[in-house]
Amino acid sequence: MSVRRVGIEKLRAYPGSLVLSMPELCRARGHDLAEIRDVMMIDERSVNPEWEDPVTMAVNAAKPMLAAEDRDRIGLLIVASESGVDQAKSMTTWVHRYLDLSPRVRNIEVKHACYGATAALQLAASWIASGVAEGETALIINTDQSRMHLGERWEFVLGAAAVAVLVSAEPRVLEIELGRSGVYTYEVSDLIRPMLDNEVGNSETSLISYMEALEGAFDDYLCRRPEVDDLSEHFRRIVYHMPFGGMAYRAHRALLRRSGIFDKEQVWESFSRKVLPSLGYVRRMGTTYGASTFLGLMALAATAADLQAGERLGIFSYGSGSCSELWSGFVGAQACEVVRDAALPALLDARRPLTVAEYERVEKARAAGLTSTNFATDLGALGDWYDRYYAGKGLLVFRGVSECYRQYEWS
């Protein structure tokens, strides 16, 4: 027996515990702050201490969201990431263990750059909608962190975050329009991670690839929904994949040009009304990879005062390599309440500000542990920060590597 309504029941984010301001970084690098703040639309970025990794972020995002009954209902666990910590062992096995889930959970790790989480969401939604596992839910987590790029021109758009999404037949946050997607894929090497400690690519190629994939996904959506003649009006609001906030503006401008709108004031008015509220959290976190669309949804629910239950959203996801998808859904009746309970602004405010010198030391320490067969994290590397933020709080922390085996413990 199939299920008619499927979507996001709960979601929660973990932004890390450290933050670097863009004014500080721009002064240190002699870079124009206006470009970063006004064009790229980034104010600050999250940074991980050496005792946080993609596994700990995933667990720390999901754990506060899951009540005992939630854990009992989960039948599928998917972790999406391009920051995998092992070439064979799935991160989901650690996540499953530390979230204390039932042993009857199918679990996999998926990789497709920033598209992986959307792919996982659609797979989970189809599984639930099929009715083959009646009453069960799926937990989808995207967890990623940038590699070290000290002094590089793209250093300003880096970041880290994890977002956990509970998918079920009770879409309190967003009901997915099943089968209402446009997809576009082709091979391109715009951004790659050929080794665990290396993240390279061409930013110009990536920008062009994103735009081509955007056009392709929108065309496919229209092909599948011939009754729609203007996507800019079909969607009350649109959440775009955001490697940085300013990318959402470029994407929306391209969409409007397809509808014959070129006037700058008209473009900005449409962007301000339909898209701008979704940028609030990404502006404070930097690039969040596949989590960015979910953070955009959270920001929209938290800051758009006129958001109404039942209005249709368009959500666009792009992953380097590449694959893109435009999908749609209806705002759930409890979206604002669920996002408020996630308390992301409080987590963002609680992060410890870093000086540029501290940030550079943290990045070098994290990089040193990526390929080490033996490595111990230094909990005293930032003075008393571990004792103040972590100790006794029940957060999962990464303690290092012993003969290639990763070590985790509760704070």
pLDDT value, residue 2: 63
Q: Residue 165 CA to chain centroid, in angstroms?
A: 10
pLDDT level of residue 1 (50, 70, 90 thresholds): low
Residues designated as active site: 82, 114, 241
Q: Which two tokens stand for residue 385?
A: 């920060």
Q: Which of 239, 291, 249, 221 is nearest to 57 (CA)?
A: 291
Element (H, E) at 247: helix 245-258
Q: What is the pLDDT of residues 192-226, one digit of tens each?
A: 888 777 788 787 888 899 999 999 999 999 999 88
Mean pLDDT of 142-163: 91
Average pLDDT, the chain: 94
How confident is the model at residue 4, as a pLDDT? 76
What does the pLDDT read at residue 154?
83
| Confidence class for position 263, pLDDT limits 50, 70, 90 | very high
Contacts (Cβ under 8 Å, ≥6 apart) of 143: 54, 55, 57, 58, 61, 79, 80, 81, 83, 91, 161, 162, 291
The residue that leads in pLDDT, 3 or 283, is 283
pLDDT reading at 322 higher than 90: yes
Name, in order, each residue with C-beta under 8 angstroms of 346's C-beta and a sequence gap of 6 or more. none
Q: Is 399 exposed, middle or buried (0-12, 13-18, 19+ CB in 10 A)?
A: middle
- Using the CB atoms, write b or e for 230-241: b if 16+ within 10 Å: ebbebbbbbbbb
Supply the DSSP symbol for 121: H
Residue 21 · residue 134 · CB < 8 Å: no
Q: Provide the token pair at 63.
A: 């754990």
Neighbouring CB atoms inside 10 A of 125's CB total 27
pLDDT, position 361: 96
- Mean pLDDT throughout 42-69? 97
41: left (phi over 0), alpha (psi -120 to 50) or beta: left
Which residue segments constitute the domains of the chain, with CATH numbers given?
7-410 (3.40.47.10)
Element of type H or E holding 125 = helix 116-130
Kindly indicate the confidence band of residue 129, based on its pLDDT and cuts at 50, 70 and 90: very high
Mean pLDDT over 257-266 rounds to: 91
| pLDDT at 233 exceeding the cut of 80 | no
pLDDT of residue 313 exceeding 90, the answer is yes
